[in-house]
Structure 1
Amino acid sequence: MEKLETTTLFTGVEHIGIKALDMETAIRFYIEVLGFKFSHRIKPGEVELAFLELGGTVVELVEVVDGRRFEDGVVNHLALRVVDIFKAIEHLKQHQVEVPSSEPMDIGEGRYNFFFRGPSGEKLELYQG
C-alpha cells in the first residue's frame, strides 16, 4: 500500500537547480559545451532562473546574488514532480519530515512549489505544474 501511494504522488524529477555565478557564462557553457537546449528565463523574485534541457533532463540555473554563493551547495536543489502537492506535503509529515510550513507557494498559472530538507540537510523541492 505504501509503495503504491508513493509512486502515485511522485512522478519524476522536475529539474536540478545549479548555482550560476555568472548567468550568461553558465548559459553559454551548458548550450555550447554540453549541448543543452535553452528553454526559458524567469525572475519570480530577487534571483533570475534559466531553464535548459538535454535528453529529457532539465537544469535550472539559479543566479547567485548578494554573495550567497553556496549556502546550499553548487547543486542547489533537486525538484520532484508531484501530481498533488497538498497530498505530498501530508505524506512528508506522516514520515516525520520536518517541513517549514504547511502550505505550498503559488507560483502562478496553476503551478506550486514547496521546499524542504532531506535527512542530510539537502534542499529538496516539490513541484506541481
Structure 2
Amino acid sequence: METICGLAHFGLYVSDMEVSKKFYTDILGFQFAFETNQEGGPHLCFLRNGNCEIELIARSGAELSDGHFDHLCLRVTDIEAAVAHLAAHGIPTEFPIREMPQVYQGIKMVMFRGPDGEHLEFNEFC
C-alpha cells in the first residue's frame, strides 16, 4: 500500500500516568508534547523523542488485563485512499474517518482490526 509513509505513534496503557511520564521523560529522554484529560474522555499524554512518539493512555489495573499495548498507528499520505484500500480487501473500519482537534489540529484518523484482532490506526496529519 503506497499511502503509508511511516509509524506515527504507538499507544501504551499505563496504570499511573505520573509514574509513566516520569519514567519515559527522566529515564528514556522523551520530551513532553501535550496532555489531554477531558471530561468523559480518556486521559492521554503524548511524549516525543526524535521521530518516536508514545501515546500514554491511563487505565486502571483491572483494565490492564488485556496487556499494555493498545494500538499501532501508521501515518498515511491519503487517508481516504487508505480506507478505500481496506474496504477493497473486506476490512471494515470501526468508525468513519474523523478529525481529532483535541489531539492535533488537522489530523484525520480511523481505527480498524488486523487478522488477530490487533487494534490498528491510520492517521493523516495535514
Same fold (TM over 0.5): yes
Of residues 3, 14, 20, the one that matches 2:14 is 20
Structure 1-normalised TM-score? 0.83
- Asked whether the equivalents of residues 17 and 56 of structure 2 are also in contact (C-alpha less than 8 Å), the reply is yes
The percentage of counterpart residues that share the same residue type is 33
Residue 100 of structure 1 and its aligned partner are, at CA, apart by 2.6
Tell me the number of residue pairs that the alignment of Structure 1 and Structure 2 aligns.
Answer: 121
Segments of 4+ moved more than 3 angstroms = none
Flag the 1:115–1:65 CA change in 2: closer, same or farther, 3 A: farther
Q: What does the per-residue CA deviation read over 1:72-99, in whole Å, with 9 as the maximum and x for residues that have no partner?
A: x311101111112111111111122232
Counterpart-to-counterpart distance in 2, 1:70 and 1:91: 33
Indicate yes or no: 2:98 matched with 1:105: yes
Instruction: Structure 1: give runs of 5+ residues left out of the alignment.
Output: 1-5
The two structures, once aligned, show a CA RMSD in angstroms of 1.8
Unaligned runs of 5+ in 2: none
Q: What's the CA shift for 1:35? A: 1.5
- Which whole-Å deviations, capped at 9, do the CAs of 1:84-122 have from their partners, x for residues lacking one? 211111111112223234x21221232211111011111
1:61 aligns to what? 56
Distance in 1 (alpha carbons) for counterparts of 2:74 and 2:30: 20
Q: Contact 2:47–2:53 (CA<8 Å) still a contact in 1?
A: yes
Normalized against structure 2, the TM-score is what? 0.85
Equivalence for 1:37: 31
State the distance in 2 between where 1:68 and 1:30 align: 21
1:121 to 114, 117, 122: 117
CA gap of 1:110–1:54, structure 2 versus 1, over 3 A, is: closer
